[in-house]
Amino acid sequence: MDEVRRALVVGTLRAEDPLPSVRELASQLVVNPRTVLQAYQELEREGVLYVRRGQGTFVAPDARIDSHGLTRDVAKRALLDARRNGLGVGDLIKAIRRVAAEEGEDEGQKDEDGRYSTASPKLATRARLSDGGKQGHQK
């Protein structure tokens, strides 16, 4: 669910784009098909996806993702992970700023479409290298 939302926010998924079948995505992610089905159903309830009988699952024409809500969810997960590792809020904020500076990112850095980039140039290069130079993306 998070990956579909992220793809909508950054623009790699757009209205009416098809999603992989439940079976195909479950195989790619190595998860139980029921897990994918439940995620698709929840996103359908939220109005993000819709199903065309016999054709598949598609991004809803009017799908809207609350980027502020997504940001809040990411922050909550990061804070939870930090707490699990014995770190406080101040430690987490300092670390995020330090890593962003190391990666050459400014807080207000946006791409030509006015969206925040999903990765710094260093991270993007690392990602390309780690997947063997493949440019595809998973939904």
The pLDDT assigned to 109 comes to 54
The pLDDT assigned to 122 comes to 40
The pLDDT assigned to 127 comes to 36
Q: Which residue's structure tokens are 């992610």?
A: 29
Whether this prediction's pTM lies above 0.95 is answered by no
State which residues of the chain have pLDDT below 50: 113-114, 118-139
The pLDDT assigned to 47 comes to 92
| Beta-strand relationship, 49-52 and 56-59 | antiparallel
The pLDDT assigned to 69 comes to 78
Burial class (CB in 10 A: 0-12, 13-18, 19+), 111: exposed
The pLDDT assigned to 95 comes to 92
Domain of 96 in residue numbering reads as 67-130
| Assigned domain for 38 exists | yes
Q: Are 41 and 77 members of one domain? A: no
Total domains in the chain come to 2
Measure Cα distances from 102 to 62, 73, 96, 117 in Å. Answer: 38, 24, 10, 16
Q: Are 82 and 50 members of one domain? A: no
